[in-house]
Amino acid sequence: MADDPLVRAAREAQARAYAPYSQYRVGAALEAEDGRVFVGANVENASYGLGICAERSAVSAAVTAGALRFRRIVVVSDSEPPAAPCGACRQVLAEFGGDLVVEAVGPRSAARWRLDELLPATFRRATLDAVARGPVA
Ligand SMILES: [Zn+2]
Amino acid at 106: G
Phi, then psi, of 60 in degrees rounded to 5: -60, -45
With a cut of 90, say whether residue 131 has pLDDT above it: no
Count CB neighbours of 81 within 10 A.
Answer: 12
Q: Residue 103 catalytic?
A: no
Report the pLDDT averaged over residues 95-109: 96
Task: Assign 54 to helix, strand or coil.
Answer: helix
Neighbours of ion ligand 1 (CB under 5 A): 53, 86, 89
Task: Assign 36 to helix, strand or coil.
Answer: coil
Catalytic residue among 31, 44, 55, 103: 55
With a cut of 80, say whether residue 137 has pLDDT above it: no
Could you give the CA distance from residue 103 to residue 94 in angstroms, rounded to a whole number?
15
CA of 85 to the centre of ligand 1 (A): 5
Could you give the CA distance from residue 74 to residue 123 in angstroms, rounded to a whole number?
23
Kindly indicate the confidence band of residue 132, based on its pLDDT and cuts at 50, 70 and 90.
Answer: confident
Report the pLDDT averaged over residues 43-54: 98
The DSSP output letter for 68 is -
With a cut of 90, say whether residue 19 has pLDDT above it: yes
Task: Assign 127 to helix, strand or coil.
Answer: helix
Contact 94, 115 (CB under 8 A): yes
Could you give the CA distance from residue 47 to residue 76 in angstroms, rounded to a whole number?
24
With a cut of 90, say whether residue 79 has pLDDT above it: yes
Kindly indicate the confidence band of residue 45, based on its pLDDT and cuts at 50, 70 and 90.
Answer: very high
Report the pLDDT averaged over residues 100-108: 98
Report the pLDDT averaged over residues 93-121: 96
Kindly indicate the confidence band of residue 125, based on its pLDDT and cuts at 50, 70 and 90.
Answer: confident
